[in-house]
């Protein structure tokens, strides 16, 4: 796929002294108000104007987090930025800068890295963050991307995971499960392609799902919306690993229980339809699927009027006393304990 | 080596739900004054008390930057932190926090990662930085470590690469070339070990060199020393890639030339002696060797009295007009153009 999609190829070793990063970042602009010095010194120099700084980092590994057989490099660059910005929004903060490091093997020509950077540049532009540093290295195999995002917020605005109280409403933005089902569709097409390389997949019926997988958007709109609604959530987290484990994170941090109502989980019609086609239970995939990059938060019951009828938000449950545990209340009114999805030998702390 | 040095082995997949990072970082303390929230939320929350923030990142790849045949994991963790802190000191700033991400293959048992983290923890403690985040992932091959360091400084104190003027003195801390020669010694012992696994290397005569390679120290002492001397360099960079390319960076950023005097380059006696043993020219290895993590800076001639006779500093040359170019003046009084060392297909911008 990599070879097919590239017209010309420049070997990285042909670049000479002028520097790969210099070449890849030469069009990057910085915002002088927030970034006093970007790329080109030992470190970048940033100004947060007296606000608190928030920082998060994510590592994406080829063969673990992405498959270049169906993930175009431009999309990968874009998504790698989204994954980090989503963590900043989940603090109710505004991302300001990112650093981008990667290790690549020789099979990647310069044009492939230009594609990757085009996606990073697009994300940085649309989300108004400066690319202020990074590091590049050769790799003995595959592509590894490490991004760190910095943001800022007034201390009073910052929302942690640990502030939920029993009785608070559990709310989610957008809809869930689409990114995971987009991945299932892409995996199926990859298998078809292996058997018959001439086949032309018709992904049109799955366009929403595939886009949620390949080009997710972080919820940039939500922190300003909270401010305009004069609403501060009591706790918040972004949904990267599936609803179930995120609810467990909020409950454990806040020392509460939770009841999640199956019938309230917001699903796009395309998710319902593709779950029928794949004969997968839609609740299972929202609980365990991941990569939705929506925000999950809790609010005091008294704040319900502020979000009522707002199409961005769906109340999906409420927090309970810690000793009541964490449960899914099914459509049949059964109470099933929430469990984190299978542990993948690796875990992320932020 | 990895297998030999580990007593017990816990497969990472045996860890269950409690979380690898939680396990590895459970003893890490944060400094509440600077770090409002460390590990355990979507992002860390930091306070720089109105000072400017500096940020830098480095990626270390097994087989490219380190060889676990002679690099113990604890030393690797320590060194990975030093590489980043050195960039912060080169801005004349104080490091405050780091994030640590890594990807590992299954061949690393938990105990190996505990060793790695023991080195990170020791570095964080000695250099007074908080470990505030990170990400872990499995890897299809080898170990990749990505560290981002954040620091702070009053805006007026920050020293960039671009402030040198013609006539400024070119000054270096410490001595050069030892880390590179330490690597040569270790590479030689590795070859001996391959031929005769029973051989017991006597590294005692090379202890300074090997320590500079395996356990380098960043120059934490220099920014406060500058403050006590009431000295602000006009430009500064850390020496990670060899003296020659660092001088070229300062000159290109500052739009100056430079004359470097071969006879002034500070060498430890152990470097001189091992260069004779290996029949390598000591000037060549200081110019191109790298990994010294000393600081290279320029000062106005009028500030010379502030550093005169200070054993931390050696004046090795001076800056010239840009059109005079960048030269090494040899002991035989020959003028040789400075060239950057061979380009390794990868380059770092900070």
Q: Residue B303's pLDDT band (boundaries 50, 70, 90)? A: very high
Q: ipTM, 2 decimals?
A: 0.88
Integer Cα distance of A223 and A217 in angstroms:
14
Q: Does residue A262 register a pLDDT over 70?
A: yes
> What is the average per-residue pLDDT within B218-226?
98
User: Does pLDDT of B1 surpass 50?
Assistant: no
Task: Please answer whether residues B333 and B270 qualify as being in contact, where contact means their C-beta atoms are separated by less than 8 angstroms.
Answer: no
Two tokens, residue A255 = 């020392």
State the Cα–Cα distance between residues B276 and B181, nearest whole angstrom. 11
Any CB–CB contact under 8 A between A139 and chain B?
Answer: yes
**Whether A57 contacts chain B with CB within 8 A:** yes
Region A298-316: mean pLDDT is: 97
pLDDT at A39: 81
Instruction: State whether B138 and A15 contact (CB < 8 Å).
Output: no
Chain B nearest-CA distance from A349, in A, is 5
Domain A169-337 - what CATH class? alpha beta
Give contacts of A58 with chain B, Cβ < 8 Å.
101, 135
Q: Count how many pairs of residues, chain A against chain B, have C-beta atoms within 8 Å.
A: 285
The arithmetic mean of pLDDT across residues B277-296, rounded, is 94
A59 contacts B43? CB cut-off 8 A? no
Q: Report which of B104, B142, B347 is spatially closest to residue A140, judged by C-alpha positions.
A: B142
Work out the average pLDDT over B273-299. 95
Strands B295-299 and B144-153: unpaired
pLDDT tens digits along B227-264:
999 999 999 999 998 999 999 999 999 999 999 999 99
What's the pLDDT band for B198 if we cut at 50, 70, 90? confident
Is residue B172 scored above 50 in pLDDT? Answer: yes
Q: Does A68 touch chain B (CB under 8 A)?
A: no
- A13 neighbourhood in chain B, CB within 8 Å: 345
Q: Could A136 and B97 be called an inter-chain contact, meaning their C-beta atoms sit closer than 8 Å?
A: no
**Is residue A295 less than 8 Å (CB to CB) from chain B?**
no
Tell me whether residues B347 and A136 touch, CB distance under 8 A: yes
A12-157: what CATH class? alpha beta
Whether residue A42 and residue B348 make contact (CB cut-off 8 A), yes or no, is no
Residue of A57, A117, A151, A223 to mutate for B, most B C-beta atoms under 10 A: A57
| Sheet strands side by side (includes A44-46) | A35-37, A44-46, B52-61, B144-153, B94-104, B130-138
Query: pLDDT tens-digit profile of A111-139?
Result: 888 999 999 999 999 999 999 988 888 88
**pLDDT attached to residue A341:** 65
The partner residue sitting opposite B13, judged by closest CB among A36, A48, A345, is A345
pLDDT at B348 > cutoff 70: no
Question: For position B344, what pLDDT does the model report?
Answer: 38
* Single pTM value for the model: 0.90
CA-nearest residue of chain B to A141? B141
Going by pLDDT thresholds of 50, 70 and 90, the confidence category of residue A205 is confident
Interface of B with A in 314-343 (CB under 8 A): 340, 343
- Please state the rounded mean pLDDT for residues B66-76: 92
Of B63, B99, B102, the CB nearest to A148: B99
* Protein fold of B10-155: 60s Ribosomal Protein L30; Chain: A; (3.30.1330)
CA-to-CA separations, B58 to B90, B95, B149, in angstroms, rounded: 14, 14, 9
Tokens of B271: 């470097």
Per-residue confidence (pLDDT) for residue B300, from 0 to 100: 98
Locate the chain B residue with the closest alpha carbon to A134.
B57
A141 in reach of chain B (CB within 8 A): yes
Mean pLDDT of chain B: 89
B189 touches chain A (CB under 8 A): no
- Ramachandran quadrant class, B107 (left: phi over 0; alpha: psi -120 to 50; beta: rest): alpha
pLDDT at B41: 86
In B, minimum Cα distance to A88 occurs at: B43
Which among A244, A237, A262 is positioned nearest to A343, based on CA atoms?
A: A244
SS3 content of chain A, % helix, strand, coil (to 5): 35, 25, 40
Q: Is A155 on the interface with B (CB under 8 A)?
A: yes
Q: Any CB–CB contact under 8 A between A12 and chain B? A: yes
Per-residue confidence at A15, pLDDT binned at 50, 70, 90? low
More confident residue, B343 or A144: A144
| SS3 state of residue A324 | helix
Of B17, B39, B97, the CB nearest to A340: B17
Write the pLDDT tens digit of every residue in B83-137.
999 999 999 999 999 999 999 888 888 888 899 999 999 999 999 999 998 888 8
Higher pLDDT, B98 or B6: B98
Task: Show residues of chain B in contact with A46, CB under 8 Å.
Answer: 52-55
Cα torsion A264, A236, A80, A58: sign: negative
Q: Which residue of A has its CA nearest to B157?
A: A45
pLDDT > 70: what percent of chain B? 93
pLDDT of amino acid A42 = 86
Question: What are the chain A neighbours of B236 within 8 Å (beta carbons)?
Answer: 42
Length of chain B: 350
Contact A91 B158 (CB under 8 A): no
pLDDT of residue B329: 96
Report the residue from B37, B137, B350 with minimal CB separation from A64.
B137
CA distance B325 to B149: 34
Arithmetic mean of pLDDT, A218-233: 98
* Contact between A133 and B56 using a beta-carbon 8 Å cutoff: yes
Q: How confident is the model at residue B13 (pLDDT cuts 50, 70, 90)?
A: low
In this predicted structure, the answer to whether residue A159 has a pLDDT above a threshold of 50 is yes
**Pairwise CB contact (< 8 Å): B140 & A137:** no
Distance from CA of A15 to the nearest CA of B (A): 7
Residues in B touching A337 (Cβ below 8 Å) = none
Whose CA is closest to B254, among B348, B160, B339, B349?
A: B160
pLDDT (0 to 100) of residue A190: 87
Nearest CA in chain B to A349: B40
Least confident of A22-36, A75-89, A148-162: A22-36
Collect all residues of chain A within an 8 Å Cβ-Cβ radius of residue B155.
Answer: 36, 45
| pLDDT > 90: percent of chain A | 68
Residue A135 to residue A24: CA distance in whole angstroms: 12
Domain boundaries, chain B: 10-155, 169-337
The pLDDT value recorded for residue A291 is 93
């Amino acid at each position: 796929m990599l070879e097919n999609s590239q017209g010309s190829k420049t070997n990285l070793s042909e670049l000479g002294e002028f520097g790969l990063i210099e070449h890849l970042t030469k069009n990057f602009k910085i915002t002088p108000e927030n970034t006093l010095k970007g790329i080109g010194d030992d470190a970048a120099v940033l100004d947060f104007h007296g606000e608190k700084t928030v920082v998060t980092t994510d590592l994406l590994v080829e063969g673990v987090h992405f498959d270049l057989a169906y993930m175009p490099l431009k999309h990968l660059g874009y998504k790698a930025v989204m994954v980090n910005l989503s963590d900043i929004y989940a603090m109710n903060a505004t991302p300001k800068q990112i650093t981008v490091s990667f290790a690549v093997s020789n099979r990647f020509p310069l044009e492939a890295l230009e594609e990757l950077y085009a996606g990073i540049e697009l994300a940085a532009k649309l989300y108004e963050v400066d690319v202020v540093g990074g590091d590049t290295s050769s790799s003995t195999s595959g592509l590894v991307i490490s991004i760190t995002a910095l943001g800022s917020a007034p201390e009073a605005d910052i929302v942690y995971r640990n502030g939920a109280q029993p009785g608070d409403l559990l709310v989610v933005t957008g809809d869930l499960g689409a990114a995971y089902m987009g991945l299932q569709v892409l995996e199926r097409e990859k298998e078809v392609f292996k058997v018959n390389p001439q086949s032309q997949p018709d992904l049109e019926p799955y366009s929403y799902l595939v886009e949620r997988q390949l080009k997710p958007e972080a919820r940039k709109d939500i922190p300003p919306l909270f401010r305009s609604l004069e609403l501060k959530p009591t706790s918040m987290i972004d949904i990267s690993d599936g609803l179930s484990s995120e609810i467990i994170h909020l409950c454990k941090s806040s020392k509460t229980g939770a009841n999640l109502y199956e019938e309230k989980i917001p699903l796009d019609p395309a998710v319902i339809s593709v779950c029928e086609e794949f004969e997968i239970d839609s609740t299972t995939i929202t609980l365990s699927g991941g990569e939705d990059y929506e925000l999950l938060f809790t609010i005091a019951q008294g704040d319900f009027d502020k979000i009522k009828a707002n199409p961005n938000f769906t109340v999906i449950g409420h927090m309970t006393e810690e000793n009541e545990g964490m449960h899914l209340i099914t459509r049949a009114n059964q109470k099933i304990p929430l469990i984190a999805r299978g542990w993948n030998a690796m875990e992320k702390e932020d």
